[in-house]
């Protein structure tokens, strides 16, 4: 697609931006190409922090993962502009033949529109981009494009179990989200080597319960792809993050060479930080 289309939004009216007001059910939807309308939406405040959330593969705005994240912010951090990039029409179909390739297209288009919003008043220093699964890779493309093409560096990029197939190892087919995409990139791994990235990919990588399946409460054996049981550990990433929005000190973490080293350590207080919303970005 012509790069000019990313700037003027041509052909992207099926990608939407959704601004949430008091609940996940109360929102304003605008086409990505008309993102500037957000600044005029009732309840949108340029003085507040802005969260730009990007959903994952085959997800839609009604998805539980989206509602949980949105409601966590609206209820616990009400002075936040909560925005969803709804790219659901391009996140369907074959993962390998369609969705992963669309991730880059959507990321570049989102960056072009965010650039316009920033130019007319959205504070870059208050922008926090968050992605889940394949949405993490979209988020990486978005932040990377803002940095390399528009000379705007996102302060914080949070990725929740970034999608593994086609992106790792080493960007085999497509470039994956990485520490250079933003000033600070924090990663929560919960299904490493399954649906999620098997290696560190950010400034700070968190591996709760070892970062692999099965996460607590999830089945060890769930053979049906994309079933609730099969996705359970992958989903823990957004569940943990949403809980951290409500309770920023819910998940203390400390550095370790590996999970066995962490388990053997007698001094978890050394270097301790909090995973999720309350993560120390220094």
List residues with catalytic annotation: 133, 161, 234
Cβ 12 vs Cβ 107: under 8 Å: no
| CA atoms of 22 and 108, how far apart (whole Å) | 29
Cβ 252 vs Cβ 230: under 8 Å: no
> Which neighbouring-strand residues pair with 52?
83, 129
Q: Which two tokens stand for residue 94?
A: 């074959």
| CA atoms of 193 and 95, how far apart (whole Å) | 17
Q: Given 3-state DSSP classes, what are the helix, strand and coil percentages for the chain, each rounded to the nearest 5?
A: 40, 15, 45
| CA atoms of 51 and 54, how far apart (whole Å) | 10
């Amino acid at each position: 697609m012509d790069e000019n289309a990313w700037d003027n939004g041509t052909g992207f009216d099926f990608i939407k931006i959704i601004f949430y007001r008091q609940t996940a059910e109360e929102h304003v939807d605008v086409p990505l190409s008309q993102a500037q309308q957000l600044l005029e939406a009732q309840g949108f405040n340029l003085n507040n922090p802005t969260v730009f959330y990007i959903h994952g593969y085959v997800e839609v705005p009604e998805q539980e993962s989206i509602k949980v994240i949105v409601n966590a912010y609206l209820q616990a951090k009400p002075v936040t502009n909560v925005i969803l990039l709804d790219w659901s029409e391009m996140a369907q179909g074959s993962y390998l033949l369609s969705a992963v390739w669309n991730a880059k297209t959507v990321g570049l288009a989102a960056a072009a529109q965010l650039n316009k919003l920033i130019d007319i008043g959205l504070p870059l220093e208050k922008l926090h981009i968050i992605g889940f699964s394949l949405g993490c890779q979209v988020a990486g493309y978005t932040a990377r494009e803002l940095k390399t093409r528009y000379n705007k560096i996102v302060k914080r990029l949070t990725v929740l179990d970034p999608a593994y197939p086609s992106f790792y190892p080493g960007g085999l087919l497509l470039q994956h989200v990485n520490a250079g995409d933003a000033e600070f990139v924090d990663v929560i791994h919960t299904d490493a080597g399954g649906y999620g990235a098997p290696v560190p990919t950010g400034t700070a990588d968190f591996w709760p319960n070892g970062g692999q399946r099965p996460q607590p409460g999830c089945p060890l054996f769930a053979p049906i792809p994309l079933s609730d049981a099969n996705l359970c550990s992958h989903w823990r990433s957004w569940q943990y993050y949403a809980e951290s929005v409500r309770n920023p000190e819910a998940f203390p973490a400390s550095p370790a060479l590996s999970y066995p080293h962490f388990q053997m350590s007698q001094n978890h207080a050394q270097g301790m930080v909090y995973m999720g919303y309350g993560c120390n970005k220094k």
